[in-house]
């Protein structure tokens, strides 16, 4: 029995709700936790634990996916491959590509900062108003 199933079976009678309702809530929580972990390097669930993104393991896994990808692509170049074997290798290649796609932005932090507005600081605003005051004085003199 998975942790998710255990949670659902324990909560349903206590909450006097159907297992389907509890399952929907638990699924939502798992999805949101997964999304939060994708955006951040850690996730802490009070009373349950802290989950950390291990960059070293991720880099090793990325290297493994990249070597698998190269090997699978080389196998697919063989024209004598049976159709069943070709489909099997293509599926494995897709799994490696998906792994690379998932890990690449997290390892290399490929955040696109184009289009983000520069945040003004109170210090800059104060400097700007001082310059405006000085320019205004020069005009009046």
Spatial neighbors of 50 by CB under 8 A, at least 6 apart, are 42, 43, 44
Every domain of the chain and the residues it spans: 3-53, 56-108
pLDDT digit string (tens) for 38-63? 788 888 988 888 988 888 999 999 99
The one-character DSSP state at 109 is: T
Q: Could you count the other beta carbons within 10 Å of the beta carbon of residue 72?
A: 19
- Claim: this prediction has a pTM higher than 0.85: no
Let me know if 65 is exposed, middle or buried by CB neighbors in 10 A (0-12, 13-18, 19+).
buried
Task: Give the Cα-Cα-Cα angle 38, 51, 93 (nearest 5 degrees).
Answer: 50
What is the model's pLDDT at position 3?
87
pLDDT band, very low/low/confident/very high, at 140 (cuts 50, 70, 90) = low
Using CA atoms in the order 120, 125, 131, 137, what is the torsion angle rounded to 10 degrees? 150
Q: For the ranges 12-21, 22-31, 100-109, which has the lowest average pLDDT?
A: 100-109
Rounded Cα distance, 106 and 88, in Å: 28
Contact 73, 93 (CB under 8 A): yes
Contact 105, 53 (CB under 8 A): no
pLDDT digit string (tens) for 75-85? 999 989 999 99
| Residue labelled with tokens 């799994």 | 95
Instruction: Name beta bridge partners: 51.
Output: 43
What is the model's pLDDT at position 130?
52
């Amino acid at each position: 029995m998975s942790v998710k199933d255990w949670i659902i079976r324990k909560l349903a009678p206590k909450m006097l709700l159907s297992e389907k309702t509890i399952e929907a809530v638990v699924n939502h929580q798992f999805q949101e936790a997964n999304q939060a972990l994708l955006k951040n390097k850690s996730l802490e669930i009070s009373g349950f634990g802290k989950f950390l993104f291990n960059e070293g393991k991720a880099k090793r896994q990325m290297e493994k996916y990249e070597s698998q990808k190269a090997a699978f692509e080389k196998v697919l170049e063989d024209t004598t491959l049976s159709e069943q074997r070709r489909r099997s290798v293509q599926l494995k290649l897709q799994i490696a590509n998906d792994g690379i796609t998932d890990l690449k932005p997290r390892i290399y932090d490929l955040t696109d900062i184009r289009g983000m507005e520069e945040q003004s600081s109170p210090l800059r605003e104060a400097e700007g108003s001082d310059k405006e005051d000085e320019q205004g004085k020069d005009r009046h003199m």
